[in-house]
Amino acid sequence: MTASGETAVTGAVVGTYAATAQSDDTHQTITEVQYTGHPRKTYSYLEHRWSFDLPAGGDATFHLEVSRASNTDGDDFVFEYSTDGATWLSLATVASATEQTYSAALGTLSGAVTVRVTDSNRSWGNLSMDSVSIDWMAFELGDVQPVSPTADFAGTPTAGEYPLVVQFNDLSTGDPTGWSWGFGDGGGATTQNPQHTYTVAGVYTVSLTATNAQGEDTAVKTDYITVTEPGQGGTALHVDAMSVARRKVGPNYLGTCVVTIVNDTGQPVADATVSATYDGPTSGSDSGVTAADGTVTLESVSMKKPTGEWCFEVTSVTHGTLAYVSGDNVVTRACESGSVFSANKELLRDVTLMPNSPNPFNPVTELSFSLPRSMQARLTIYDARGGVAAVLVDGERGAGVHRVIWDARHAPSGVYFSQLVTGDTVLTRKMILLK
């Protein structure tokens, strides 16, 4: 069981408890701050707490992968747990700058459990400002039966000229410990997230077999990768998609726009220089070069407390060998609200339901969909038995891209489905909630 919430008592925090759900080198870091409650007697200190909700059952074992940046003054970090918020029992003491794995067998444990980390030395004048970084933190319950994995994966990009380098990412559930990939061209791999280079034109079926001590499962994606000969990838390019959002940098916010460039056969184009202007809370211009997946992220100048929304408009696209045909653009202007227009100021042509992100998730995920014109839309979340878990949208929505958040903190782990209904169009996506 991973953390379901957290309380920042004191200290500078980077990242959230979601970063501690897997052993994946993605960390949550808490750094000591200076106590200023006395004019002379100052010291550095921190405390952070995580909440767990353990089901009733057998013995519990606490697991922790953690490191600390430095230890110049012997100020270790102590992890403890409590079931009542008053009595705290030891879990681990962290003194190493390299990541270590700790385990603590705790006996029968269930219900609300709080884990905290504190510094061990608050002597006056101790101002080390050290930090502790948590990679993975979880309770293993003896009565929770392990399950065999369910295999799934994704590759990026899925089309292009050879040599085509594809990054494959494992999306399997059930905590697999082994992976066997088949790339369709005779190649394979046994790492979790391999890269593979296709050197011959063709259409390739990719498979992944995920295994653990309880069994195995195989996912096969037929005709998943399309590789073309150099020079066969079209003669022109255009803007295929734009997605505008905002990003927080310190106390400021800035607008971001992901632009996707494809050629006239629909394949992503790398090394295209995209220029755009932006307006809204700030105005100006930005440019960048597309990556292998045909995307480039453009950004605005940042500001504090922006009012209104940022909009971006593509002004030019250049490439070493492909001609830019602006009349083929699906999109040339996009805003945070989702107002998106083609080069001729026509609205988007299709209703789309994008995959939720992140997926799998715990407990919050974002869903987005686009509409070609103002229309009635209903976005519903169903559980695996067909029961309604949530209704996120029900009413008329304007043209463009719409984003909504589903907070599933009160829903049980499992497979869910998002379904968008607009007129005669019904679109469904699979989601996985892991707690």
DSSP 170-189: E--BS--SEEEEE-SSS-EE
Q: What is the pLDDT of residue 147?
A: 63
**Tokens 């043209």 -> residue:** 399
Mean pLDDT of 262-287: 91
Q: Which residues contact residue 252 at a Cβ distance below 8 angstroms, ignoring those fewer than 6 apart?
A: 302, 303, 304
Q: Among 175, 212, 168, 211, which residue's Cα sits nearest to residue 193?
A: 168
Q: Which of 21-35, 56-70, 248-262, 375-389 has the lowest mean pLDDT?
A: 56-70
Q: Is the pTM of this model over 0.75?
A: no
Decide if 5-141 and 153-228 have a common fold: no
The partner residues of 94 in beta bridges, in order of sequence, read 77
- Provide the residue type at 168 as one letter: F
Q: What is the pLDDT of residue 57?
A: 66
Pair type for strands 333-335 and 295-299: unpaired
Q: Which residues of 16-50 are buried (b: 16+ CB within 10 A; e: fewer)?
A: ebbbbbbeeeebbbbbbeebeeeeeeebbbbebbb
Q: Which of 179-183, 314-318, 341-345 has the lowest mean pLDDT?
A: 341-345
Q: What is the pLDDT of residue 208?
A: 97
Q: What is the pLDDT of residue 231?
A: 57
Q: What is the pLDDT of residue 346?
A: 41
Q: Mean pLDDT in the chain?
A: 88
HSE toward the beta carbon, residue 411, CA cutoff 13 A: 24
Q: What is the pLDDT of residue 135?
A: 93
Q: Which two tokens stand for residue 291?
A: 């990556």
Helix, strand, coil percentages for the chain (3-state, nearest 5):
0, 55, 40
- Look at the alpha carbons of 222, 227, 233, 239 in this order and tell me if their dihedral is positive or negative: positive
Could you tell me what percent of the chain has a pLDDT over 90?
A: 53
CB 257 within 8 A of CB 246: no
Q: Higher confidence at residue 219 or residue 375?
A: 219
In angstroms, the CA 361 to CA 414 distance is: 10
DSSP state of 336: T
pLDDT tens column, 318-364: 998 788 988 788 888 888 876 555 444 344 557 888 888 888 899 99
**CATH class of the structural domain 352-433:** mainly beta
Q: Please give, one letter per residue, the 3-state secondary structure of 191-247.
A: CCCCEEEECCCEEEEEEEEEEECCEEEEEEEEEEEEEECCCCCCCEEEEEEEEEEEE
Q: Please give, one letter per residue, the 3-state secondary structure of 101-133.
A: EEEEEEEECCEEEEEEEEECCCCCCCCCCCEEE
Superfamily of domain 236-341: Immunoglobulins (2.60.40.10)
Q: Higher confidence at residue 394 or residue 337?
A: 394
Q: What is the pLDDT of residue 267?
A: 81
Domain range summary for the chain, segments of one domain joined by +: 5-141, 153-228, 236-341, 352-433
**Tokens 């995307």 -> residue:** 295
What number of other Cβ atoms are within 10 A of residue 54's Cβ?
17
CATH number for region 153-228:
2.60.40.10
In angstroms, the CA 404 to CA 287 distance is: 29
Q: Higher confidence at residue 372 or residue 410?
A: 410
The DSSP element (H or E) to which 83 belongs, if any, is none
Q: Which CATH number fits domain 5-141: 3.60.20.10, 3.40.50.150, 3.30.70.100, 2.60.120.260?
A: 2.60.120.260
Q: Is the pLDDT of residue 296 over 50?
A: yes
Q: Is the pLDDT of residue 81 over 90?
A: yes
Q: Which residues of 137-150 are buried (b: 16+ CB within 10 A; e: fewer)?
A: bbbebeeeeeebbe
